[in-house]
């Protein structure tokens, strides 16, 4: 049996339906910020529960343009977690700011109890990451933000439809940033991103920033960037967005099945804490496992496409050397990076495939 990590072939097996919609786009010539983008933005805002959604080129640009929209300047400090994908920190650096790391909890998200000691007079924002579809502790984070007057930019790139107390990720902060990368729970045929906000002022800035700062064809309001969501990608997004609930529920079902099985292996496997007030959407199903590297090799040899997200934390990457961090600075993150493993959990798997993965993990530890 094969258990793949990527699912794009299955997800778009009925691509001819999308081709028909693309044919309409070609006939219209509405390629740049066309009607499909406007339709997708409205659908996405309604799905998440915000007043506005602004389509951009990528999840990375969603973060970067959010930072620009709140006025981040060179020398500013932005607090985030060191276990995230490089895009989070790359966006901070691209905006001219300095990333300041804070260790994480056993749910793989930034630890609110450690944030306050990292705040300085140069701190201008906090970027909590809803890592792997695990929503961060937003109540505590928002309390800190209110106390210090700091804007929150949510990195929800892996967390569409995740929620805390039924409030969706991407609706707590000044902006919520989402990725439409091909392997995300809601995806398109290339790069794409979207920013959610309830602020008309921030929305207006983002609309300018994503399109060269153009107020209209001839008038430039600010110096901006070229970061538009392509109409073509919006066509794909409009096709798939109605399936988000089904996609999410299937991933949750498989994750629950994994959790029940992994609980029997508690001497070898650690499942992150699951809290009843949180909705986890499992962009990634991650556990901590003893002899992780050997388990990974064993699963791969048995045609299970397990992976590691991510083996080297950002504060120990070569690119981050000038930040001055060293091994041991974030012990929880570092311990997790040594033992985390990702098991396939996508919506196109069968119950038999999930059970095959479980059986092979059990076989390894037996």
The pLDDT of residue 29 is 95
| Per-residue model confidence as pLDDT tens digits over 17-43 | 999 999 999 999 999 999 999 999 999
The pLDDT of residue 275 is 97
The pLDDT of residue 283 is 98
CB 172 within 8 A of CB 196: no
Strand partners, 167: 164
The pLDDT of residue 4 is 97
Determine the structural domain holding residue 351 and report its residue range: 244-365
Are 280 and 234 within one domain? no
Are 55 and 98 within one domain? yes
b/e code 159-175 from CB counts within 10 Å (16+ = b):
bbbbbbeeebbbbbbbb
Domain limit, last residue, from 186, 208, 242: 242
| Per-residue model confidence as pLDDT tens digits over 101-132 | 999 999 999 999 999 999 999 999 999 999 99
Starting at the edge strand found earlier in the chain, the sheet holding 52-56 runs 52-56, 193-197, 175-179, 153-155
- pLDDT category at 196 given cuts 50, 70, 90 is very high
User: Average pLDDT of the chain?
Assistant: 97
In a domain, 219, yes or no: yes
Q: What is the mean pLDDT of residues 229-245?
A: 97
- pLDDT category at 1 given cuts 50, 70, 90 is very high
| Per-residue model confidence as pLDDT tens digits over 246-300 | 999 999 999 999 999 999 999 999 999 999 999 999 999 999 999 999 999 999 9
- 3-class DSSP assignment, residue 24: helix
Nearest-angstrom CA–CA distance, 258 and 169: 24
Q: How far is CA 189 from CA 34, 66, 272, 275, 286, in A?
A: 17, 24, 32, 34, 25
| Per-residue model confidence as pLDDT tens digits over 153-179 | 999 999 999 999 999 999 999 999 999
The pLDDT of residue 3 is 98
Q: What is the mean pLDDT of residues 321-348?
A: 98
Task: Provide the token pair at 189.
Answer: 């045929």
Are 251 and 136 within one domain? no
Q: What is the mean pLDDT of residues 319-346?
A: 98
CB 62 within 8 A of CB 90: no
**Cα 335 to chain center, whole Å?**
22
CATH of the domain at 151: 3.40.640.10
Are 195 and 217 within one domain? yes
Closest CA to 58 of 277, 185, 205, 229: 229
Are 140 and 55 within one domain? yes
Cis peptide before 310 (omega within 30 of 0): yes
Q: Into how many domains does the chain fold? A: 2
The pLDDT of residue 273 is 96
pTM for this model (two decimals) = 0.97
| Sign of the CA dihedral with 270 first, then 275, 276, and 279 last | negative
């Amino acid at each position: 049996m094969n258990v793949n990590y990527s699912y794009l072939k299955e997800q778009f097996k009925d691509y001819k339906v999308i081709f028909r919609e693309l044919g309409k786009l070609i006939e219209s010539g509405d390629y740049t910020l066309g009607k499909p983008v406007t339709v997708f933005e409205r659908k996405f805002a309604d799905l998440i529960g915000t007043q506005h959604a602004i389509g951009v080129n990528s999840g990375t640009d969603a973060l970067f343009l959010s930072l620009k929209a709140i006025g981040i300047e060179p020398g500013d400090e932005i607090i985030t977690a060191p276990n995230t994908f490089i895009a989070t920190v790359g966006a901070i650096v691209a905006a001219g700011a300095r990333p300041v790391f804070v260790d994480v909890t056993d749910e793989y998200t930034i630890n609110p109890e450690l944030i306050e000691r990292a705040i300085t007079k140069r701190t201008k924002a906090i970027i909590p990451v809803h890592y792997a579809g695990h929503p961060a502790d937003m109540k505590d984070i928002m309390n800190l933000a209110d106390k210090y007057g700091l804007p929150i930019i949510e990195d929800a790139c892996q967390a569409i439809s995740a929620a805390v107390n039924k409030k969706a990720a991407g609706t707590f902060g000044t902006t919520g940033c989402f990725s439409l990368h091909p392997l995300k729970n809601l995806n398109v045929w290339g790069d794409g991103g979207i920013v959610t906000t309830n602020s008309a002022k921030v929305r207006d800035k983002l609309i300018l920033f994503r399109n060269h700062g153009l107020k209209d064809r001839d008038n430039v309001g600010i110096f901006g960037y070229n970061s538009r969501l392509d109409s073509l990608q919006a066509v794909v997004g409009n096709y798939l967005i109605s399936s988000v609930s089904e996609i999410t529920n299937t991933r949750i079902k498989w994750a629950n099945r994994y959790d029940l099985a992994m609980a029997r292996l508690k001497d070898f496997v650690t499942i992150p804490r699951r809290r009843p007030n949180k909705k986890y959407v499992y962009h990634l199903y991650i556990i901590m496992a003893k002899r992780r590297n050997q388990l990974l090799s064993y699963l791969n040899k048995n045609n299970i496409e397990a992976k590691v997200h991510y083996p080297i934390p950002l504060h120990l990457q070569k690119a981050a050397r000038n930040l001055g961090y060293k091994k041991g600075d974030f012990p929880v993150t570092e311990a997790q990076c040594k033992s985390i493993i990702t098991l396939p959990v996508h919506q196109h798997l069968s119950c038999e495939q999930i059970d095959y993965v479980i059986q092979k993990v059990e076989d390894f530890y037996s």
